[in-house]
Chain A
Amino acid sequence: MSRYGLKTIAFAAMQVVGALLATAAGAQDYPTKPVTLIVPWPAGGSTDISMRAIADSASKVLGQPIVIDNKAGGGGTVGPATMAAAAKPDGYTISQIPITVFRIPLMQEVSWDPAKDFTYIVHLTGYTFGVTTSAESQFKSWKDVVEFAKANPGKVTYATPGTGTSLHIGMEQIAAMSGIKLTQVPFKGGAETNAAVLGQHTMLQADSTGWRPLVDAGKLRLLMVWTGARSPNYPDVPTLKELGYPMVYDSPFGIAGPKGMDPKIVAKLHDAFKKAVEDPAVIATLAKYDMVPNYKNTEDYKKFVVEVTESERKVIDTLGLAKK
């Protein structure tokens, strides 16, 4: 019996030593289990699928699977906010960070502070946005929309992936410049806005390129794109600038973890995701959604966050959407 007890104690002691060593070796060994990547959009939209492709490629570098967790809502802020509030900064929970994470705090009281609550890791890519309508709709071009809206203020409804998203802000800027009033209907993301505009529940859809297969199939009509130059896939569709709105919206995004992550772990994640956006297979998947890699390293990404917050502040102020 005593021999047995001794063995148990020795075993326990070994476990304790092992555990101590494990903590010390944490950053070197990372990752030892699957990493969860929060995608704050519903599964099946352009962000979701491009992030899945990127994560798949990055997981090969990390040597551990990356599990996508779709936490949609709040214009893509519910996911990052949940992470900031509840996740440990151990590198096993990271999140896609859409631009709304910086913008919505300027518009209302929120539970997170974009300057303090995140460890920014790497900047990845940006979206191509566009405005579509059902192929059966009366609107053949953007001009038709403006004319109809002038005659019927507030009657034109548009589906967005959430209040405060670039799509919402962009549409409000467009409306302000044309002197019309449009009504925003906030959905959770691309899969939902596609269904809404296809079923003509809303007249327009403003979203990233998740609409592409439906536009290609002739079920939706693309009225404009928000890129600087025309999309090579849709050479006939005008840009914002050509329609007389001097703006370009691309809403770049990257990934971040909760505040206080070990720089060594950040470096490992950064390297893995950098390789991923250089992977030709990933570039091909991104191209399906008219997206191109827009890599920024950890330091540049941090600077970019500060810049973007400032420029957003100006836009929000001019639109009168700033929090009181």
Chain B
Amino acid sequence: MNNQTNVKLRLSNSELWGGLIGLALGGFVIWSGLKLKLGTINDPGSGYVLFYTGILMCVFAGSIIISAITEGGPTLASRWENVRWSKPLLVIACLAAFSLALEPLGFLLASIPLMLLLLRLIDPVRWTLAILIAVMVPLGMWWVLKRLLLIQLPSGLFGIG
């Protein structure tokens, strides 16, 4: 690691950010634990274990932050160096769109376009092959599940599937 990618107290230090997120989560867990009542040691309440786990989270997150400051850590940018960062983003976008579409459109209408997008957007597959896979595989799985295993996949507003 060289000096450009290993930074200490900078906003671009990825270790620092990881620790801060952990600390925030820990704080939230402590607060939730307190809200749920700790109970007594004779009869611990619903928040007992949450509260102490939250404290532990803060301790560990704290030590991550300390080592991030004292020893430094790789920058956020360096974590995505030399990789096609846009590709996972595209997959995430496709998955997000899919989850919005799944219930209204149903499994078949949502998953065929999803497959087509994934097959064409990342490392494009030939159109004919892409269409063939995108249509046949979801249809085949849907048939196996519905007919053989009696599992009904979401059919959506149009009742297709």
Contacts and interface: CB of A to CB of B under 8 A. Distances in A.
A16 B159 contact: yes
Interface string B64-94: 0000000000000000000000000000000
Interface string A11-24: 01001101110100
The 5 closest A-B pairs by CB, nearest first: A19-B159, A15-B160, A33-B152, A15-B159, A16-B158
Given A33-B150, A33-B152, A34-B150, A22 B160 contact: no
Nearest to B155: A19
A125 B158 CA distance: 43
Interface residues of B, number: 6
Interface string B135-161: 000000000000000101001001110
A186 to B, nearest CB: 10
A12 B159 contact: no
A263 B94 CA distance: 42
9 contacts: A12-B158, A12-B160, A15-B158, A16-B158, A16-B159, A19-B158, A19-B160, A22-B159, A65-B150
Contacts of B152: 33
B158 A18 contact: no
Contacts, number: 18
B134 to A, nearest CB: 16
A16 B150 CA distance: 22
Contacts of A33: 150, 152
A34 B150 CA distance: 8
Nearest to B161: A15
A306 B159 CA distance: 40
A111 to B, nearest CB: 13
Interface residues of A, number: 10
Nearest to A64: B150
Contacts of B150: 33-34, 65
Nearest to A33: B152
A19 B150 CA distance: 18
Contacts of A16: 158-159
A16 B160 CA distance: 8
A188 B148 CA distance: 35
Contacts of B160: 12, 15, 19
Nearest to B159: A19
A20 B157 CA distance: 10
A20 to B, nearest CB: 8
A212 B152 CA distance: 40
A34 B151 CA distance: 9
Given A19-B160, A20-B159, A34-B150, 15 more contacts: A12-B158, A12-B160, A15-B158, A15-B159, A15-B160, A16-B158, A16-B159, A18-B159, A19-B155, A19-B158, A19-B159, A22-B159, A33-B150, A33-B152, A65-B150
Contacts of B159: 15-16, 18-20, 22
B10 to A, nearest CB: 46
Interface in B105-161: 150, 152, 155, 158-160
Question: B152, B155, B159: which has the most chain A beta carbons within 10 Å?
Answer: B159
A71 to B, nearest CB: 18
A34 B149 CA distance: 10
A19 B158 CA distance: 7
Nearest to A92: B152
Nearest to A23: B159
Contacts of A65: 150
Contacts of B155: 19
Nearest to B160: A15
A15 B108 CA distance: 13
